[in-house]
Structures are given as structure tokens and as C-alpha cells.
Amino acid sequence: MASSKEEVTLLGAKESPFVCRVKIALNLKGVEYKYVEEDLLNKSELLLKYNPIYKKVPVFVHNGKPIAESLLIVEYIDDAWKHNPILPSDPYQRALARFWSKFIDDKVVVPARKAVFTVDEKEREENAEESLKGLQFLENEIKDKKFFGGEEIGLVDIAAVFIAFWIPMFQQIAGLELFTSHKFPKLYKWGQELINHPVVKESLPPRDPTFAFFKGRYESLFASK
């Protein structure tokens, strides 16, 4: 159990949807933390020490003990600070929340990134198709719930912030239609609820510089083609 004498540090990069997940979890819990911005072109000693395997952000450090992988960090935060629960208490509902958050990573985040940040056209198209399929499963799953977690934000909503905030930027940059109110009306409505939730709002990066960052990345990918 967490005490009041905590050292809580997050190594992040402000544009990262994975880092944003951890920020939402910390802000939902009201946990104060030190944020360290990493330069991913020149990774710090601290990042390499704490995440020698993947060398990626986010890394969460609690009283000197590091954890990598955003969904595992969110689940750890929920284990360590019990108030404002992020996962349901019922074992079956917990399993479903883990299932859908893993689904989002495997079937939406991975293909949606490849649909934009890949040079090969066939690969882009295949990945766009796959992410549309993934989004359709989520459209069927959200039904008329406010959030995947019900009335409150839960693990699946946190995992899916990528869909609500990042996919709209990515599709605009690449001139694609992935996540639109026309294709996915219920999921789109959920996305609007999510990004306007006060805790999510304070956790998101500002849109314009984030858009510019990814646009730069996109253009340099095709410039070097």
C-alpha cells in the first residue's frame, strides 16, 4: 500500500499515447509525480538503466523500482493506490477489461500506426483495413455505455485514448478515413466524452504541436523514400 512519503517519477515523451495512459491513471488517482521528459534521439542514462530491455517510454519509477509497458504500469498504479479503482473488482470483469485493452493494442494501435507510418503502400492498405476491423469490434462493444468502464473511466478507456485523440490526427496527416462519426457513431461519441473528461483533458498533450510533431515524422518518412 502506498504511503504519503512516495517517490513517484514518470519518464515520458509528451507526444506519446502510451505515456498519456500513465498520466491519466496518475491523475485519476490524484497521485503527485515528477515528470521527466526524455529526448528519444538521445536517451538518458536513467531510461537505459530503468528499461534496458525495450529502452522505451513510459517508464514508471515508484520508490526506486521501475516498471515498463504502459498497460502494466496502469495496472500497477491501480494495485498500489486502491482508491478510484481503474479495474473492476469482479474477476470476470477484470479479465474482460484486460482482454479489451490488449485487443486495442494488438488490433488497433499496431495496425493504425502502420497504416500511416509505413512507406510500402500495400502494407499501409492492409493495416488500414485491419484497424477498421478492430474499430468495428469496439463499436459493437461500447453499445450505449458512456465509457467502456461504465459511468467511470476504466482500463479500456485509458488504453483507447489512442483512438480518441491520436487516430484523428494520424488520419488527417495521411489523408485516410479510419475513425469517423459516420463509420463508428457510438465509438465516436464515446471518444468525444473521453477527451472532454476533465482528468483526460489535463493529461493530453496540446493538439497543435503534437499534430506538427507527427506531421514532421510522416513527411520525413516519405522524403527519405
Which residues of the chain form contacts with its own copies (CB under 8 A)?
Answer: 53, 62, 65, 67-69, 72-73, 75-76, 79-80, 91-92, 94-96, 98-99, 102-103, 137
Q: Strand 34-37 vs strand 65-68: parallel, antiparallel, or unpaired?
A: unpaired
Closer residue to its own copies, CB minimum distance, 148 or 170: 148
Closest CB 25 distance from its own copies, rounded Å: 13
Closest CB 79 distance from its own copies, rounded Å: 4
Closer residue to its own copies, CB minimum distance, 64 or 206: 64
Closest CB 133 distance from its own copies, rounded Å: 10
Closer residue to its own copies, CB minimum distance, 140 or 220: 140
Closest CB 92 distance from its own copies, rounded Å: 5
DSSP line for 83-150: SS-SS-SSHHHHHHHHHHHHHHIIIIIHHHHHHHS-S-HHHHHHHHHHHHHHHHHHHHHHTT-SBTTB
Closer residue to its own copies, CB minimum distance, 34 or 65: 65
Closest CB 50 distance from its own copies, rounded Å: 12
Closer residue to its own copies, CB minimum distance, 16 or 101: 101
Whole-Å CA distances, 30 to 50, 119, 123, 163, 188: 24, 41, 42, 24, 27
* Cis peptide, bond prior to residue 58, ω within 30 of zero: yes
Rounded Cα distance, 116 and 173, in Å: 8
Rounded Cα distance, 130 and 96, in Å: 21
